[in-house]
Amino acid sequence: MSDQQPVYRPETLAVRAGQERSQFGEHAEALYLTSSFVFQNAAQAARRFSGEEAGNVYARFSNPTVTMFEERLAAIEGAEDCVATASGMSAIMAAVLAHLKCGDHIVASNSLFGATVQLFSNILSRTGISTTFVSHTDPAAWEAAIRPETKLFFLETPSNPLTEIADISALTAIARPRGILVAVDNCFCTPILQRPLELGADLVIHSATKYLDGQGRVLGGAVCGARKLTEEVFKYLRTAGPTLSAFNAWVLLKGLETLKIRVEAQAANAARLAAWLEAHPRVARVFYPGLPSHPQYELAQQQQKSGGAIVSFEVRGGRDQAWAVVDNCRLLSITANLGDTKTTITHPATTTHGRITPEARAAAGISDGLLRIAVGLEAVEDLQDDLERGLRLI
């Protein structure tokens, strides 16, 4: 037997990584509900506050349960470090403000989640950080948008809701020689299906609310990457306080244990549902990276382990026809959240992307007839029957 530390596979890391047992030897991860921590003496308190000695200080920026979640997610993602936050949006804000300042510039995909577009366009712009939105799938457009003050490429792949695939390796090849950071929102794939750091990305962003939890229970976010980059994110979190609660971290730890099983099963269901929808006479178009008809199918095959669990499709008609499908669902949950074991359906143009301008929606390809389904673990035949109830009315 070798004394070397074994290299574990992701599914093992999802169950075991990061756990630290207390003196009581608990088998499950402990939940530390406390706002502060007691020191042995004044000298130790001084060392802890200065960072000279490792240890917990105050729950705004240090908690053992949160640390266990951070270490486990970093291990699965193949990252050196991870900083957990209160939500996915706070993770994006923390990553940006940790590394950019007034006068800096972002190049971002024009196919981002609606709240992310709002953050970049209406909030970060007030700080003097500007953003240029470009084609998600055209690396040449990203290169053409670079300015001397460009500091960040930001993308999510697959995109929300059209599941467009950005070429992470191509974008990092453009960014790295220029000293531009590349941040990838890996919410849709999770590290089970895609590992952006291995493709050259600098930072990986998560809305842990989605697949990492997987059951619609709590909010959470995370930024993963090299420690020299996450240290800056930690400094922002320590002061600004978009903190992941200990309870939410504890729930997310349990979610990670079943992540591989859930994501792979949901992706398999999504592939079957997408094929059924593509053959449906009342469906104009299906957007799913696992279908050969997808524009970036070959890239998805290289970059992802499967097509994922998000299926979007356009019905024949417009908003009224799309709403008829939604309103006649009896099984699918009508909600904008995704990643749950329960399948959800939403109309992006009036929900997730309803706050962005009609021009921005058009640029992102989000039509009034578009619907997005986050496929869960139900029987695919039951999902088909539920959708058929509304589709037959069109």
In the prediction, which pLDDT does 353 show? Answer: 83
Chosen domain end from 227, 257, 287: 257
In the prediction, which pLDDT does 295 show? Answer: 96
Chosen domain end from 212, 234, 257: 257
Q: Which segments in the chain show pLDDT lower than 70?
A: 1-3
Tell me if 99 is assigned to some domain: yes
The pTM for the full model equals 0.94
Q: Could you tell me if residue 200 is left (phi over 0), alpha (psi between -120 and 50 degrees) or otherwise beta? A: left
Tell me if 4 is assigned to some domain: no
Same domain, 241 and 195: yes
In the prediction, which pLDDT does 250 show? Answer: 98
Count of domains for the chain: 2
Say whether the peptide bond before residue 289 is cis (omega within 30 degrees of 0).
no
Tell me if 277 is assigned to some domain: yes
Q: Could you tell me if residue 308 is left (phi over 0), alpha (psi between -120 and 50 degrees) or otherwise beta? A: left
How far, in Å, are 122, 128, 133, 150, 338 from residue 146 at the CA level?
A: 21, 17, 11, 6, 33
Tell me if 268 is assigned to some domain: yes
In the prediction, which pLDDT does 8 show? Answer: 92
**Segment 138-179, tens digit of pLDDT:** 999 999 999 999 999 999 999 999 999 999 999 999 999 999
Same domain, 149 and 177: yes
Same domain, 193 and 137: yes
In the prediction, which pLDDT does 364 show? Answer: 78
Show the domain range for 213: 10-257
Chosen domain end from 196, 227, 257: 257
